[in-house]
Amino acid sequence: MERMRKFSAVAAALYSLVTAAPADAAPRSAFISFSVHATYCENSACEPVTLQIVGGDAFVINRWGNHREQVRIANIDAPDRRARCIREREKAEQATDRLGRLMNGSTFTMARVHTDGRGDSIAFVSVDSRDLGHTLVREGVVFPWEPRHRSWC
């Protein structure tokens, strides 16, 4: 019994150390990537996939057989969640949330146009036969892609 009490006390102390933030710590980012389920179609074959939404213009496709592909949407420029400006971080959260809501439960296709230096696919994405980038631009959560990044601040 005594051994169990000591274990509980040690566990409680460790938990408080792990969860406590230093007094001078900045607030933690509210950005946690989240997953949604969708159907990916390629060459007239469709399969259920899980998508990890990692930004307003990026997601990871997890397919059967441990196939994982990182994708950035080709025709948009989303706000950066690591920006110094609070307004851009808030816009990034909105864009990420909206991308997730549009992709959740959807049927989508991709037209890969390039691979960037990190190996991510750059692709035009269509959700339910509509250009996803165009939809996000029209809703005002992202800018159309330009070679130079625009400021959201």
Q: Would you say how long the chain is, in residues?
A: 153
- Per-residue pLDDT, averaged over 49-71, amounts to 92
- Output the CA angle 55-56-60, nearest 5 degrees: 50
Q: Please name the amino acid found at residue 87.
A: R
Output 34 or 4, whichever has higher pLDDT: 34
| 144/60 Cα distance (integer angstroms) | 21
With cut-offs at 50, 70 and 90, classify the pLDDT of residue 83.
confident
- pTM to 2 decimal places: 0.74
What average pLDDT is seen over the chain?
81
Q: How far is CA 50 from the centre of its chain?
A: 12
Helix residue spans in the chain (DSSP H): 2-19, 86-103, 132-138
Mind listing the pLDDT tens digit for each residue in 64-80?
888 899 999 999 999 88
Q: Please tell me the predicted confidence (pLDDT) of residue 88.
A: 87
What is the DSSP secondary structure assignment for residue 28, as one 8-state letter? P
Output 32 or 106, whichever has higher pLDDT: 106
Instruction: Yes or no: say if 95 and 57 are a contact pair by the CB < 8 Å rule.
Output: yes
In the predicted structure, residue 5 carries a pLDDT above the cut 70: no
